[in-house]
Amino acid sequence: MKVLVLPGLAALAGLMAIFFGFHAMAAEPDVVLSDKAIMSSIPALACVGIFILSYLAVLTEEFSHLPKSKPVMLGAGLIWVLAGFISKQQGVDHDVLHDAVFHGLEEYGSLMLFLLAAMTFIATLQERNVFGTLRAKLVTMGLSLKQLFWITGFLAFFLSPIADNLTTALVMGAVVMAVGQGNKKFIVPACINIVCAANAGGAFSPFGDITTLMVWQAGHVDFFEFFALFVPSLVCFVIPALIMSFFIPKGKPDPLDHDEKMKKGAKFFIFLGIATIATAVSFEQFLGLPPFLGMMTGMSLLMISAYIIKVTTVDHDDINVIDQVKDVEWDTLLFFFGVIFSVGGLAYLGYMGLASEYMYEGWGASITNIALGFASAVIDNIPVMFAVLTMNPEMSHFQWLLITLTTGVGGSMLSIGSAAGVALMGVAKGQYTFFGHLKWAPVILLGYLAAIGVHFLMNAHLMTVN
């Protein structure tokens, strides 16, 4: 969901330098196929080229309108075909190759089922008009523009850890557009504030962003340890917001007569969603079961509850959770498939171990993790984080929290750096733009660096925890 820009090419050029230019500096990675001759072979280098080309296609999605899942799925398939060809040449047993592929399938399966349940809950709440009612209440409160600026920001910050940052941005963005009424001096900073708040809010909760979920499911950080990022995330949001608030025009928007109500069962579904999150956490913390089992259990209760509402309502409420499953963002779920299997293929060939040794052992964990935050402003934070998880460098809890923070909030520096920013460019088309966001990039960078500084100050004791 990114636009192709020069920084994107620079980042990809950096990746190519790591893959092609530093073979002599890297020791043999501990992977199935780790021979330098194999990594320098034409089929192996072709895998790297396929990965780069597939991601270039993702970066042009806004221009080409080609869904991002299609090129990365094709790339994943081609990479593993070439990996299979190389394995056959090297006499690798089929079972070894199967194990490598199914390792990726295990990663993807648990992530997909977790997200499927979470997205279904969000889609059901949207169908029950929960978010529409919230939007309507904010619009009709008669608040000043500066009050709305802060309220939409804080709501985005605290809603994002529960819902996803995309839904949060769309709901709050609709409020801004409704009350802004074409006032760009309010709309642009308010939209930027929502993007920063939604991304920052998602960084301190395993449910707030895909990257935090991936780190949690990988077992590097326990559920409650993520809350150590609350204050750094808050700082990352508040500092840019405070500066931008001085530029919000004075006055109140014209009051709007707009009333909406939640549909039957909406409040119970909100409670059920919270209970499902608690179940997923409890399954992992107390029983050692993967969180997706708790989410799927909650999803089953959601479906049964919806059925009861449907058959007990006099006018036969048309709610059908299966319809909400159909409306889940399948392009995103299939994009994850492409990313996980593409990176998994490169890891099988030894490239991720090579990159890990050069970056984490050469630059050091802190510099690498901060640099990857900048990369996530151009390259989607999901492949960045999965690449780190695949490298699996030896890091303390402090460093795992640092990479979680930087990849979570780094995307706020550009409007194309996160799903929230891209979505708002669609909602506020022609008013909130790439260059309008870029104007405030130095202010957002200040928040990014301040958040990192606060993390070093507050969580230094975690540097010794592995």
Between these two residues, 27 and 300, which has the higher pLDDT value?
A: 300
Task: Point out the least confidently predicted range of 30-34, 176-180, 351-355, 381-385.
Answer: 30-34
Name the token pair of 335: 């994009």
Question: Encoding tokens for residue 53?
Answer: 């080309």
Residue 315 exposure: Cα atoms within 13 Å on the Cβ side: 4
**Residue 33's pLDDT band (cuts 50, 70, 90):** low
Report yes or no: 96 and 274 within 8 Å, Cβ to Cβ: no
List of residues 6+ apart from 138 with CB closer than 8 A: 148, 151, 152, 155, 175, 179
* Residue-wise pLDDT tens digits, 192-207: 999 999 999 988 888 7
User: What is the model's pLDDT at position 234?
Assistant: 96
pLDDT at 34: 55
Q: What angle do CA 314, 320, 321 make, to 5 degrees?
A: 140
Q: Is the pLDDT of residue 208 over 60?
A: yes
Question: How many whole angstroms from its chain centre is CA 3?
Answer: 17
Which residues are within 8 A (CB) of 47 and not within 5 positions of it... i.e. 6 or more apart?
Answer: 78, 79, 82, 83, 345, 346, 349, 351
> What are 312's two structure tokens?
């007990």
SS (H, E, C) 341-395: HHHHHHHHCCHHHHHHHHHHHHHCHHHHHHHHHHHCCCCCHHHHHHHHHHHCCCC
Q: pLDDT of 124-175, one tens digit each?
A: 888 888 877 877 777 777 788 899 899 999 999 998 888 767 778 877 887 8
pTM comes to 0.70
Q: What value does the CA radius of gyration of the chain take, rounded to a whole number of Å?
A: 23
For the four alpha carbons of 316, 320, 323 and 327, in that order, the dihedral sign comes to: positive
* Nearest residue to 346 via CA among 94, 59, 16: 16
Average of per-residue pLDDT across 178-188 = 82
Mutual angle of helices 291-312 and 94-127, in 10-degree steps:
40
Average pLDDT, the chain: 81
The tokens for 83 are: 């990996």
Q: Which two tokens stand for residue 268?
A: 């119970």
Higher pLDDT among residues 417 and 401, named by residue: 401
Mean pLDDT on 168-189? 82
C-alpha 190/C-alpha 41 separation (Å) is 51
Confidence of residue 415 (pLDDT cuts 50, 70, 90): confident
In our burial notation (b when 16+ CB lie closer than 10 A, e otherwise), range 108-143 reads beebbbbbbbbbbbbbbbbbbbbbbbbbbebbbeeb
pLDDT of residue 421: 80
Direct distance between the N- and C-terminal alpha carbons of the chain, in angstroms, rounded to an integer: 35
- Say if CB 190 and CB 440 are below 8 A apart: no
